[in-house]
Amino acid sequence: MSDSPELIDDKLSDQVMAPHNVAQHSKAPPPNIDMVHPSPEQDAHLESSAKKKEKSDQTSTVPTREVYEPLNDDDRNRWEWQSRWNGNAIKHICFDAFYVGIVFFLIILLLIITWRGLTFEWVASGCALCKRSTFDQFVYFFLGGMLGGTLFGIKYLYKVVARGYWHLDRRLWRIFSPFISGGLALAIGTLIDSGMFGLAVKNPTASTYLSLGFISGYFADNALAKMQEIAETIFGTPERRKPKISTQYQNKSADN
């Protein structure tokens, strides 16, 4: 029995399309049996990986701008602008700020006067043995130390005010700190000039002396530590006496 024309056309179309379908199926990757049905070892590995990821997500926190921002270290929230100090405290704070500001501008004025040579004329007028270069050298040391101590005091003042640690008992330190720094810088300059400090000034200019004085005044603690090393080298380390133990305590320790 012969096929009808329609059936012949269908068979021919199936024979033409068959190679194309086979090619498509041959390109498809074989199914991964392990991913469809993982083994017990793979289950344990996947579970441990998920636990580690969950633990790392819990422990690792993304730093926010408000927590780690250097400017926001005053324990304040955004838009909180009003002062926490009362009116009486604000008056004392303004006095301290006015004082260190006046000292700062006076130091700048004295530096300008010294640079113009007027300080030597006022102080050492009529002195035949005085040299302006030596005089200016130690004046720059002193004024540089005062400038460093004053800037350190200004920085300390606004930080303690903003963080709530300001108090009146520190006023003496704020008043005398510039002069202590200036005297310390003058002593450091004398030690450098004598060669005892182990430093040699290769470029003896006003800016060099002013810079050394500023560093000595701003970092006064480091300068004092260096001076202590020099003192121990010259005079030796002082012996520390052991504290005496009372006879009553000695008898108790002997009984035990």
pLDDT in tens, 46-76: 666 666 666 555 555 544 444 444 556 677 7
Predicted pLDDT of residue 244 = 60
CA atoms of 212 and 204, how far apart (whole Å): 11
Tokens of 213: 């004085």
Residue 245 has pLDDT above 50, yes or no: yes
Mean per-residue pLDDT for 27-54? 57
Predicted pLDDT of residue 154 = 94
Residue 7 has pLDDT above 90, yes or no: no
Is residue 171 within 8 Å of 91, Cβ to Cβ?
no
Mean per-residue pLDDT for 194-209? 82
Q: Both ends of the chain: CA-CA distance in Å?
A: 125
Q: Phi/psi at 178 (nearest 5 deg)? A: -60, -40
Predicted pLDDT of residue 22 = 44
Task: With cut-offs at 50, 70 and 90, classify the pLDDT of residue 38.
Answer: low
- Side chain identity, residue 189: G
Predicted pLDDT of residue 234 = 80
Predicted pLDDT of residue 251 = 57
Quick: pLDDT tens for 70-104.
556 677 788 888 888 999 999 999 999 999 999 99
Is residue 178 within 8 Å of 149, Cβ to Cβ?
yes
Predicted pLDDT of residue 252 = 55
Quick: pLDDT tens for 131-185.
888 899 999 999 999 999 999 999 999 999 988 999 999 999 999 999 999 999 9
Poorest-pLDDT segment among 16-25, 194-203, 221-230, 238-247: 16-25
Residue 204 has pLDDT above 70, yes or no: yes
Predicted pLDDT of residue 130 = 85
94-to-85, 158, 177, 182 alpha-carbon distances in Å = 12, 11, 18, 24
Residue 130 CA, distance from chain mean position: 44
Quick: pLDDT tens for 225-243.
888 887 888 888 777 666 6
